[in-house]
Structure 1
Amino acid sequence: MLDLNGTPATCYDPVQKIWSGSSLQSLYNEDLTVGQIIYRQLQRQPQRIFQISHTDNTRLTRSQMLQNASKVGCYLRDQGFDKKTDMVGLLARNSTHVGALAYGCLFNGTPFHAVNPNLEQKTIASLYRITKPRILCCDVADYEKIKDIASSLGSLVLTVNGKLPGVTSAGNLLQSPLPEDYEPAQFQRGVDRTMAILCSSGTTGTPKAVTLSNSRKLFEMHSYLGPDDVQYAPSTLDWLTGLITLITAGVFGTVRLISSEMFSTAHFLDLCEQHEISWTIMANSHVAMLANCPNTSIQRLRSLRYLLFAGGHCLVGTLKKMQSFLHGPGILRNAYGLTEVGTLISYNYDTQSKPTSVGRLMANIRVKIVDSSGQLQGPKGLGEVLCHNGQSWNGYFGNPQATAEMRDSEGWYHTGDVGYFDQDNYLHIVERKKDMLKYLGMMYYPHEVEEVIAQMPDVAEVCVFGIWREMEGDAAAASVVLRSGSNLHPSHVEQYVRKNISVQFKHLHGGVQIVPQLAKSANGKVNRHAVKAAYLKNANES
């Protein structure tokens, strides 16, 4: 439900001190899986284009995607994939047949475990040792990385985007005839069945295997999408935004645009012009890159109607600059969610008047704010954000202890994010709980210092972190990426912070380094731990 201004409705109960999104009843039978829903939807308008692969230069109609995915589903059925623990591993970039492999799994009720191919081999191995997929799907380029893992698990390897001698390929499966009576698998309470397993972000430790159910929340909040929309997400299926894009395309009949190239401003601008992207979701760091790119223009982004960003803060100055390249208000939107929750928690349609907020709550979401002593907080009270989505969760696969730490016995997810609600029921995320720093007994968040540094005209990106000193605590230090042509010196940054932050404990006592880029996770989030490690290495070498 939206209010009169078109933003999600959120109400506050001052007795229970809980904020709630609107109550919304799903239109779908709870026995249906998402795969069954998509199977029926793809039967409509069979000759319309469903997917365009920019890299492979291929186009698939809705009928072709339905046929391909059904053949995968039929193959899994014939191979005896019928238990909840029968898994398919997916280690692949966005190429022509990845969507059909994922949909085929959904049709058969087989969970797929998507892992980013850019991760280290030992991390990939540790993740797949948890779920033990019977089939591991990979790009040809990653075969050497995956073959020993598959051998140790007794898994079949299937190549996604090409052929290798003696190795089964997706192309082989798609040559098989499809029985005329094929139907996707049916289940009781299909909504609760595990649909996919993604990875936690890994920015605060080793990634975990996060189960996602066949929840309608994955797509229902994007019901504004339709056949005239071209959707694009640079993320692969191991990130929630990549999965949401795949699911919404199937349910709402949009055109799904994919590319195997990693995000770059030049590539994204070319895609927008060539394919007229209307909807995209990207990391906050990608918005910063776009806003500060000299080639970005309102003309090149003229097709965009929805530009969502997720994964962290976007600095106010960056948002204002990005808005200047868009042809109207309400296009630039901030989405806040957790992989574990399996959906967006809040959504900010109003980044112009509420630039520091992640918006109001989505339907059927409840949130409470709890301080360090366990006390519930009211409006403007700061504490950890706890979220309730009103649905079952099968937890971190094979890790009941971490599951209990993330979601308590009453169903509240402990997000690890610190935030507050303002007087208009807009949620603000201050920082991750684990990122809190303490210097000379005074606590602060890196983001507070980043916001100040980002106001410098020469700064494109900044990451602040603490350097531990036994006598002082966490001394703030900064890695700074400059805009093209800038000659800013580290001392200028230190002086600017001293001038614009009145309290000394937030000054840059740990120093400043000018760097060409900030270390990021595979999906575009700034990895504060990796940036700090690079800073310390440079400091030791100089």
Structure 2
Amino acid sequence: MSFQPRTNYDVVDKIWSSEKEEPQFEEDLSIGEIIFQEMVRDPKSVAQISDSEKTILLREDLLNNAIRIATFMRKLGLTQTDIVGIIARNTTHVAAVAYACFFNGIAMHTLNSAYLPEIIEKLFLNTKPRIIFCDGDEYEKIRSATTKLNVKIVTMRNHPAGVLCIQEVLKTSAEEGFKPTPLKQGSTHPLAILSTSGTTGTPKAVIVSNCRTILSGFTKLNTSDIQYVSSSLDWASSLWTVVSSGVFSTKRIISDKPFDPSETLRIIKEYEVTYVLQSPAQVAAIVSCRDFEKANLQSLRYYYFGGGRCTAEVQKRLRQKLGKDIIQFCYGASELGSLYCVNWHYDAKPNSVGRPSPGYKVKILNDQGDKLGSNEEGEVLINNGSFWPGYYGNSEATKEVYKDHWYQTGDLGYVDVDGFVYIVERKKDLLKYHSNKYYPHDLEELISQMPGVVEACVFGIWNVENGDEAAAIIAKTPNVQLSEKDVTDFVDQHASTKFLRLHAGCLIVNDLKRSPNGKTNRAANKEYFIRQKGIKIQKQ
């Protein structure tokens, strides 16, 4: 399974680049047009199975549903300048709504159903969707948050009385001779709008374009593959799966239930899943699950994980279970709507996120903006060979991170002599104690080695005399006895340097604070720690 692209290094400009793949589809086709032609080509194969709702859709079923919804949108007068809102779990007809948007060239703005009303209001006031598809569970919240908009609301499940539901929309007669609408802006035309994590305030609206780079890391999928991700459509991982499933005609397993490690293991076995994509927090929960050791994971061909650091201990346990050539550590973000790197050589480079994806370029800059060479640590910048439209309605935020087609990731990392990229830490998370620099993951890696630890989140508590005093919140395995003293003593005994200690203490919990997209939220965990410990923060 050696799919790793060849990487070239320009010694003058200090830029690493990978050769482009041969295009599998005509260059002028949009993502919607590709999915449409693939569904027409293979109508009788199973496109989607809902584990929670017990529904099965053939590709022709999903296509016909998407055409009816797209026709409904056209009859409402929606054009390619309009936005469609989606704030729903993974129910049977959500993918059809997404494909309808793709067919019409209308960007969908997806939000997480856990968002607070004030966040929903701010985000939708920015994009002003003409129609919103949401779960009936959140109907009143959505209606209240969008009173300033002239918007039609369609419910996807648990329908309140008197509200337009998806089943009514699906009664729309399909437009005769329906064809996807060609995109006015080509590959720069918005495909979707996702949200940033929002750890420092209201999430920003990230435009994902129709660029083919959205398929990076997925081009080896084929019709025999069975994909499963637990995330809803507001996650990049779910968007990538919905797109790649349509483009490469795979079978997609869905569930409207929240992520559960035992349920995930059951689904993989029951449906013979070949592909999963998870966050590091989900991987940690999987390997700490009581069912992990006896789980049957033989069907898996691709186990992708990304979106943050995964500790060496978790990776080791996963590798022992899955064996060779299955695990792929990947690196991507909503901003460029794709996977920048995928490590197809996990055994040789276990801590690398891989070489740049085909057609991508990488460079490393120091704080002064100087380009760095091999094994020199600095901020990682990515160029995917196409134009990124930026943050919707926020040109200033776009300018801060996107210049001359280079996206500043905010991640610290380096590239080794073989062209493999390593991500060290978020730039803003770098800590300093008595002038000694350290990263939260230094302690997280150490703490994760303790029996009974599922995941650790480390952050700095500012002290005028000492600097960033390390503190940690630790999620433990249920029914395991683990005290704060056990953790601090373990760190004292095993840390590689004297300054690397939990000087501000720790807190044991059943689970960490997470963003709506399921990622560990360092800022929220720090805030919770300060509140629980009654710490008075000193001014820097």
* TM-score normalized by the length of structure 2: 0.96
- Residue 123 (structure 1) aligned with residue 123 (structure 2): no
The correspondence for 2:481, drawn from 482, 487, 508, is 487
Q: Distance in 2 between matches of 1:397 and 1:451?
A: 37
Q: State the SS of the aligned residue for 2:41.
A: coil
Q: 1:199 to 1:17 in 2, by over 3 A?
A: same
The correspondence for 1:348, drawn from 343, 353, 359, is 343
**Are the equivalent residues in 1 in contact too, given 2:118–2:145 (CA < 8 A)?**
no
Q: State the SS of the aligned residue for 1:450.
A: helix
**Structure 2: which amino acid aligns with 1:135?**
I
Q: How does 1:247-396 map to 2 (within 5 A)?
A: 247-297=243-293, 299-326=295-322, 328-396=323-391
The correspondence for 1:424, drawn from 399, 418, 426, is 418
- Residue 229 (structure 1) aligned with residue 225 (structure 2): yes
Alpha-carbon shift at residue 483 of structure 1 (Å)? 3.2
Q: Which residue of 1 aligns with 2:73?
A: 76
Alpha-carbon shift at residue 74 of structure 1 (Å)? 1.2
Q: State the SS of the aligned residue for 2:169.
A: helix
Q: Distance in 2 between matches of 1:297 and 1:507?
A: 32
Q: Distance in 2 between matches of 1:93 and 1:404?
A: 33
Alpha-carbon shift at residue 529 of structure 1 (Å)? 0.8
Q: Distance in 2 between matches of 1:308 and 1:404?
A: 31
The correspondence for 1:64, drawn from 61, 64, 68, is 61
Q: Which runs of 5+ in 2 are unaligned?
A: 536-540
Alpha-carbon shift at residue 457 of structure 1 (Å)? 2.8
**Are the equivalent residues in 2 in contact too, given 1:26–1:216 (CA < 8 A)?**
no
Alpha-carbon shift at residue 484 of structure 1 (Å)? 4.3
The correspondence for 2:437, drawn from 424, 440, 443, is 443
Runs of 4+ that moved beyond 4 A: none
Q: State the SS of the aligned residue for 1:368.
A: strand
Q: Distance in 2 between matches of 1:201 and 1:383?
A: 23
Question: Could you tell me the percent identity over the aligned residues?
Answer: 39
**Are the equivalent residues in 1 in contact too, given 2:365–2:380 (CA < 8 A)?**
yes
Q: Distance in 1 between matches of 2:449 and 2:183?
A: 54
Q: Which residue of 2 aligns with 1:520?
A: 514
Q: Distance in 2 between matches of 1:369 and 1:60?
A: 46
User: 188-197 or 305-314, which moves further after superposition?
Assistant: 188-197
**Are the equivalent residues in 2 in contact too, given 1:320–1:352 (CA < 8 A)?**
no
The correspondence for 2:534, drawn from 505, 523, 540, is 540
Q: How does 1:20-59 map to 2 (within 5 A)?
A: 20-59=17-56
Q: Which residue of 2 aligns with 1:18?
A: 15
**Are the equivalent residues in 2 in contact too, given 1:115–1:124 (CA < 8 A)?**
yes
Alpha-carbon shift at residue 225 of structure 1 (Å)? 1.1
Q: Distance in 1 between matches of 2:23 and 2:397?
A: 30
Alpha-carbon shift at residue 254 of structure 1 (Å)? 0.6
**Structure 2: which amino acid aligns with 1:507?**
R
Q: Distance in 1 between matches of 2:27 and 2:196?
A: 27
The correspondence for 1:455, drawn from 445, 449, 469, is 449
Q: Distance in 2 between matches of 1:225 and 1:503?
A: 45
**Structure 2: which amino acid aligns with 1:363?**
P
Q: Distance in 1 between matches of 2:316 and 2:497?
A: 27
Q: Which runs of 5+ in 1 are unaligned?
A: none
CA deviations on 1:235-292 (whole Å, 9 max, x unpaired) are 1111111001001111111111110111111110121122111111011111111111
**Structure 1: which amino acid aligns with 2:18?**
G
Q: Which residue of 1 aligns with 2:211?
A: 215
**Are the equivalent residues in 1 in contact too, given 2:216–2:357 (CA < 8 A)?**
no
**Are the equivalent residues in 2 in contact too, given 1:477–1:510 (CA < 8 A)?**
yes
Alpha-carbon shift at residue 149 of structure 1 (Å)? 2.2
Q: State the SS of the aligned residue for 1:221.
A: coil
Q: Distance in 2 between matches of 1:486 and 1:354?
A: 33
User: 86-95 or 466-475, which moves further after superposition?
Assistant: 466-475
Q: Distance in 2 between matches of 1:43 and 1:498?
A: 62
- Residue 506 (structure 1) aligned with residue 503 (structure 2): no
CA deviations on 1:442-461 (whole Å, 9 max, x unpaired) are 22211111112222233221
Q: State the SS of the aligned residue for 2:89.
A: coil
Alpha-carbon shift at residue 98 of structure 1 (Å)? 0.4
**Are the equivalent residues in 1 in contact too, given 2:431–2:439 (CA < 8 A)?**
yes
**Are the equivalent residues in 2 in contact too, given 1:385–1:416 (CA < 8 A)?**
yes
**Are the equivalent residues in 2 in contact too, given 1:8–1:347 (CA < 8 A)?**
no
Alpha-carbon shift at residue 162 of structure 1 (Å)? 4.4
Q: State the SS of the aligned residue for 1:260.
A: coil
Q: Which residue of 2 aligns with 1:95?
A: 91
CA RMSD, Structure 1 to Structure 2 (Å): 1.8
Alpha-carbon shift at residue 485 of structure 1 (Å)? 4.4
- Residue 243 (structure 1) aligned with residue 242 (structure 2): no
Q: Which residue of 1 aligns with 2:464?
A: 470
Q: 1:350 to 1:27 in 2, by over 3 A?
A: closer
- Residue 531 (structure 1) aligned with residue 489 (structure 2): no
Alpha-carbon shift at residue 534 of structure 1 (Å)? 1.5
Q: 1:221 to 1:314 in 2, by over 3 A?
A: closer
Alpha-carbon shift at residue 167 of structure 1 (Å)? 1.7
Q: Distance in 1 between matches of 2:282 and 2:51?
A: 19
CA deviations on 1:491-510 (whole Å, 9 max, x unpaired) are 23223222333433321111
Q: 1:163 to 1:453 in 2, by over 3 A?
A: closer
Q: State the SS of the aligned residue for 1:153.
A: coil
Alpha-carbon shift at residue 22 of structure 1 (Å)? 1.8
Q: Distance in 2 between matches of 1:6 and 1:147?
A: 47
Q: State the SS of the aligned residue for 1:385.
A: strand
Q: 1:189 to 1:152 in 2, by over 3 A?
A: closer
Q: Distance in 2 between matches of 1:375 and 1:63?
A: 54
Q: 1:204 to 1:382 in 2, by over 3 A?
A: farther
Alpha-carbon shift at residue 381 of structure 1 (Å)? 0.4
Q: State the SS of the aligned residue for 2:253.
A: strand
* TM-score normalized by the length of structure 1: 0.95
**Structure 2: which amino acid aligns with 1:228?**
S
- Residue 398 (structure 1) aligned with residue 408 (structure 2): no
**Structure 2: which amino acid aligns with 1:77?**
R
Q: Distance in 1 between matches of 2:26 and 2:200?
A: 38
Q: Distance in 2 between matches of 1:230 and 1:319?
A: 23
Q: Which residue of 1 aligns with 2:538?
A: none
Q: Distance in 1 between matches of 2:496 and 2:80?
A: 61
Q: Distance in 2 between matches of 1:331 and 1:287?
A: 14
Q: Which residue of 1 aligns with 2:131?
A: 135
Alpha-carbon shift at residue 333 of structure 1 (Å)? 1.1
CA deviations on 1:384-434 (whole Å, 9 max, x unpaired) are 0011111112110000000101101x1110100000112222111110011
**Are the equivalent residues in 2 in contact too, given 1:30–1:189 (CA < 8 A)?**
no
**Structure 1: which amino acid aligns with 2:344?**
Y
